[in-house]
C-alpha cells in the first residue's frame, strides 16, 4: 500500500509493520544460536516456512510451528470447536511441506481460561481429522490454564517432518521462464480473521455475537459458517507430486502476506508475474466491499482464493500436477510465470500491484 492509504488491518488491531520491527529485535538474539548446536546444524536459513535440522547421514528433520490466530474467536462466537483443530494442523503441515518434507507428527498447545470437557472434546475431533487428512500422528501436547493472561482459548501446534538433505527445497533453483501454479484455497483459511471479523461482524464483541449467525444470501451461508470454513490441507497432493518425481522448483504456502510469500524463496533477481488469478471466493469480495479495503491490502492480508503455489519448469510438469490435483478434487491452474529482474518481487499486472518483501504498492 502507499503511505497515504490507511491500513484497515492496523485499525483492526494488527500491525504488520510493528510485527516486522519486533521480529528484527528478536532475530538479532535468535540467529546467533545456530552455532550452539554444531552437531545438528540447520540446513536452511531462518525465514522460510519451516527449517530443517541436519541429523547426519544425509537425513533431516523439518520443523515448524503455527497457530490459528483469532479464528478461534469465530469458534467461540458460534460455540463450535470441532473444526478449528483442522486449521491448527493445516497451518503447520502446509508449512512443513514447503521445504520438501513429509509431515510425520505434531504436538499441540492449548492455552485457556477454562477447561470445558465439551470444548476440549470438539478440539480433539478437529485435531484428529486434520491428522487423518495429513497422515500424521498427534504425539503429545500441553494444556495451560492461564486465566490471568487469556480469556477463552488459544490453539497452537508444532510439526516435524522427514526429508533427505538432498531433497530440501527452498526455491534456490527457480529461473526465468518457470511457471507458477496456484492451488485453490477453501476460503479465508487462518489469516486475516481480525480484519474479516471487524468488517463483517462489527467492532465490539457484542456486535459480533449478534451478527455471527446472520444468513448472507451473497454467500449462501451464515457469516460465521463462512469464516469458520477449515483451512485446506495440501499434504496429500503435494506428496504425490514429489513421490512421482515431478520437479517442483518451489512450494509456497499463501498465508499472511498473500502472494508476497513468493518472495520468501531463496533465489534472487526474479519477478513472479501473477497475471491469471484464481476465481476469488465471494467472502473476499464481501470483505472488500463492506470494509472499503484497498486492493493492495486485500492481497497482503488474504489468500484471495489461492492457498498454495507451485513453481515448475514447464508444460509437462503442469500436466502432471493438474492430473494429481484432479484426482484429489483440488482446483488448480497456471497463474503466472517467472521473469528476470534486479532484486526480487511479485507483480500483479491486473491490479497494478508490485510486492517487495511482504508489502504491495
Domains in the chain: boundaries: 37-167, 179-360
pLDDT digits (tens, 9 = 90+) for 211-253: 999 999 989 999 999 999 999 999 999 999 999 999 999 999 9
Residue 136 clears pLDDT 90, i.e. is over it: yes
Listed in sequence order, the residues at least 6 apart from 1 whose beta carbon sits closer than 8 Å to its beta carbon are 7, 294, 296, 297, 300, 359, 360, 361
Strand 270-274 with 306-312, pairing: unpaired
pLDDT digits (tens, 9 = 90+) for 69-107: 999 999 999 999 999 999 999 999 999 999 999 999 999
pLDDT digits (tens, 9 = 90+) for 259-283: 999 999 999 999 999 999 999 999 9
CB 46 within 8 A of CB 27: yes
When pLDDT is cut at 50, 70 and 90, the band that residue 3 belongs to is: very low
Class in CATH terms, 37-167: alpha beta
Residue 34 clears pLDDT 90, i.e. is over it: no
Task: Determine the 3-state secondary structure of 278 from DSSP.
Answer: coil
Q: Nearest-5° angle of CA 332, CA 282, CA 238?
A: 25
Phi, psi (deg, nearest 5) at residue 115: -120, 80
Chain position carrying cell 530440501? 168
Q: Mean pLDDT throughout 319-335?
A: 98
Q: How many residues does the chain have?
A: 361
When pLDDT is cut at 50, 70 and 90, the band that residue 20 belongs to is: confident
Signed CA dihedral, 262, 156, 88, 214: sign only: negative
Q: Which residues are 143's β-sheet partners? A: 110
Residue 185 clears pLDDT 50, i.e. is over it: yes
Residue 209 clears pLDDT 50, i.e. is over it: yes
Residue 1 clears pLDDT 60, i.e. is over it: no
Q: Mean pLDDT throughout 10-19?
A: 63
Which grid cell is 174?
Answer: 527457480
Residue 2 clears pLDDT 90, i.e. is over it: no
CATH of domain 179-360: 3.90.650.10
Q: Mean pLDDT throughout 118-133?
A: 98
Full-model pTM: 0.94
Amino acid at each position: 500500500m502507499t503511505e497515504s492509504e490507511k491500513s484497515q488491518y492496523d485499525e483492526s488491531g494488527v500491525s504488520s509493520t510493528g510485527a516486522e520491527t519486533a521480529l528484527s529485535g528478536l532475530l538479532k538474539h535468535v540467529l546467533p544460536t545456530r552455532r550452539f548446536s554444531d552437531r545438528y546444524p540447520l540446513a536452511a536459513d531462518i525465514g522460510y516456512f519451516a527449517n530443517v535440522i541436519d541429523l547426519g547421514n544425509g537425513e533431516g528433520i523439518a520443523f515448524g510451528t503455527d497457530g490459528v490466530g483469532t479464528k478461534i474467536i469465530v469458534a467461540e462466537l458460534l460455540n463450535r470447536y470441532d473444526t478449528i483443530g483442522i486449521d491448527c494442523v493445516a497451518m503447520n503441515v502446509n508449512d512443513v511441506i514447503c521445504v520438501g518434507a513429509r509431515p510425520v507428527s505434531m504436538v499441540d498447545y492449548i492455552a485457556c481460561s477454562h477447561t470445558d470437557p465439551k470444548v476440549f472434546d470438539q478440539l480433539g475431533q478437529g485435531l484428529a481429522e486434520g491428522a487423518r487428512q495429513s497422515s500424521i500422528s498427534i504425539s503429545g501436547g500441553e494444556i495451560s490454564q492461564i486465566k490471568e493472561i487469556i480469556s477463552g482459548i488459544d490453539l497452537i501446534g508444532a510439526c516435524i517432518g522427514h526429508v533427505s538433505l538432498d531433497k530440501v527445497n527452498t526455491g534456490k533453483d527457480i529461473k526465468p521462464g518457470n511457471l507458477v501454479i496456484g492451488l485453490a484455497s477453501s476460503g479465508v483459511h487462518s489469516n486475516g480473521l481480525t480484519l474479516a471479523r471487524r468488517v463483517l461482524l462489527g467492532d465490539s464483541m457484542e456486535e459480533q455475537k449478534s451478527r455471527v449467525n446472520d444468513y448472507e444470501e451473497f454467500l449462501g451461508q451464515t457469516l460465521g459458517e463462512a469464516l469458520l470454513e477449515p483451512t485446506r490441507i495440501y499434504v496429500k497432493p503435494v506428496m504425490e507430486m514429489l513421490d512421482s518425481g515431478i520437479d517442483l522448483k518451489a512450494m509456497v504456502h499463501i498465508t499472511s502476506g498473500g502472494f508476497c510469500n513468493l518472495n520468501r524463496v531463496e533465489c534472487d533477481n526474479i519477478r513472479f508475474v501473477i497475471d491469471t488469478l484464481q476465481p476469488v471466493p465471494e467472502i473476499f469480495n464481501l470483505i472488500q466491499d463492506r470494509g472499503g479495503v484497498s486492493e493492495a491490502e486485500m492481497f497482503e492480508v488474504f489468500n484471495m482464493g489461492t492457498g498454495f503455489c507451485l513453481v515448475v519448469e514447464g508444460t509437462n510438469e503442469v500436466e502432471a500436477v493438474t492430473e494429481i490435483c484432479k484426482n484429489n478434487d483440488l482446483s488448480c491452474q497456471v497463474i503466472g510465470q517467472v521473469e528476470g529482474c534486479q532484486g526480487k518481487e511479485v507483480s500483479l499486472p491486473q491490479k497494478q500491484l508490485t510486492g517487495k518483501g511482504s508489502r504491495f504498492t
